Amino acid sequence: MRIPTINLQRTSLEGIQSNLRAMDSAIRQLTSGNRVEVPSDDPAASRSIIRTNSVLEENQQYSRNISRARSLNTLQESVLDQVDELLVRGRELAIGQAGSTATEQTRLAAASEVRGLMESMTDLANTRLGSRYIFAGLDSGTPPLPSDGPLPTGSTPIEIGPGRTVAPTESASRIFGDTGALAALEELAEALETNNPTAIQQASYDLRESQTELQVLVAETGNITNRLEAAGSRLEILEANLVEYRSDLRDVNFEEVVSELAARETAYQAALLATSRILSQNLTDFLR
């Protein structure tokens, strides 16, 4: 079978170009550190990388949500501690003024202090994070107290994972209304102002009940803290696994690529040598 010289030239050039493309690819990989730069480099791996990047972006949003929820949860925990301190002080005043040694004047002075405790509790009810009143329920732009109507109810859940939400704060109604904290202090102030020992004693009991109810909220807040910690840990582990998986798909194995480049360089040089020798020969070389 006769093989035209043009066919030898075409085959030689194709081989040289193939080696050049492989060398170019190896050099680009070594320079960028990426095995897959465009989908055509590895379509299957490229699809997996895109999906992995999407999941990582979602996880980053969940991580930001968890961080925000932690801030709110920590702030509520601090507020609950301060509310408990106000109730403790209220009980101290009630116990001190319920006895026979107390007078109308001492009870009026104590009533003034209790009114101050109520103002402090109002300030706590109006706690803000940024521009948001964290106990205002669904209307976070309006302070819960003072209020002519009922205290705000409800809370805004935050998504901390696929299908998982958490409400990091309670409403003013739950903390200051359902526990009876505000009502108990108001009851004590009125009892002191009216110089009523029996009512003062009853207010002391009600303050103790409010503290008990408040501790339920403290425990629930602690449970939310644990949930947020666990969710954050899961996201950290998942992110580490996803980053490692993406690295396996995308990143260069430098030893393999260097070996491939060296092999391609050798093949390229051999192809150039062989091509130059074949194409430089003609029929007259054998007729001499």
pLDDT 10s per residue in the chain (288 long)?
Answer: 555 656 655 665 666 666 556 556 555 655 555 666 677 767 888 888 889 989 999 999 999 999 999 999 999 999 999 999 999 999 999 999 998 899 999 999 999 999 999 999 999 999 999 889 999 988 888 899 987 778 989 888 999 999 899 999 999 999 999 999 999 999 999 999 999 999 999 999 999 999 999 999 999 999 999 999 999 999 999 999 998 888 777 666 545 655 665 666 666 666 666 666 655 655 455 445
User: Could you tell me the two tokens for 74?
Assistant: 């920590």
Rounded Cα gap, residues 179 and 213, in angstroms: 5
Question: Rounded to two decimals, what is the model's pTM?
Answer: 0.75
- Asked if the structure places residue 267 within a domain, the reply is no
How many domains, the chain?
1
Show the domain range for 90: 51-246
Q: What is the pLDDT of residue 21?
A: 63
Residue 75 forms part of a structural domain: yes
| Phi, psi (degrees; rounded to nearest 5) at 92 | -60, -45
Residue 95 lies in a domain: yes
Domain membership flag for residue 235: yes
> SS3 helix, strand, coil % of the chain, rounded to 5?
75, 5, 20
- Residue 88's CATH number: 1.20.1330.10
Measured CA to CA, the distance from residue 212 to residue 7 in angstroms comes to: 95
3 state SS of 138: coil
Query: What's the length of the chain?
Result: 288
131 in any annotated domain: yes
Provide the CA 117 distance to its chain's centre, in angstroms. 36
DSSP β-ladder status, 158-161 and 164-166: antiparallel
Within a domain: 204: yes
* Residue 20 within a domain: no
State both tokens at 174.
């739950």
Distances (CA, A) of 117 to 66, 102, 125, 222: 33, 20, 12, 25
* Other beta carbons less than 10 A from residue 173's beta carbon: 18
Separation CA 62–CA 45 (nearest Å): 26
C-alpha distances (whole Å) from 69 to each of 128, 153, 219 are 14, 18, 17
- Specify whether the CB–CB gap between 195 and 104 falls below 8 A: yes
Tokens 């080696």, residue located: 19
Maximum separation of any 2 CA atoms in the chain, in Å: 140
Q: What are phi and psi of 164, to 5 degrees?
A: -120, 125
Specify the residue for token string 């200051």. Answer: 176
- In angstroms, rounded to a whole number, what is the distance separating the alpha carbons of residues 204 and 202? 5
Cα 164 to chain centroid distance, Å, stands at 13
In a domain, 224, yes or no: yes
What is the per-residue pLDDT for 85?
97
Residue 37: how many other CB atoms lie within 10 Å: 15
Closest residue by Cα to residue 126 from 141, 110, 113:
141
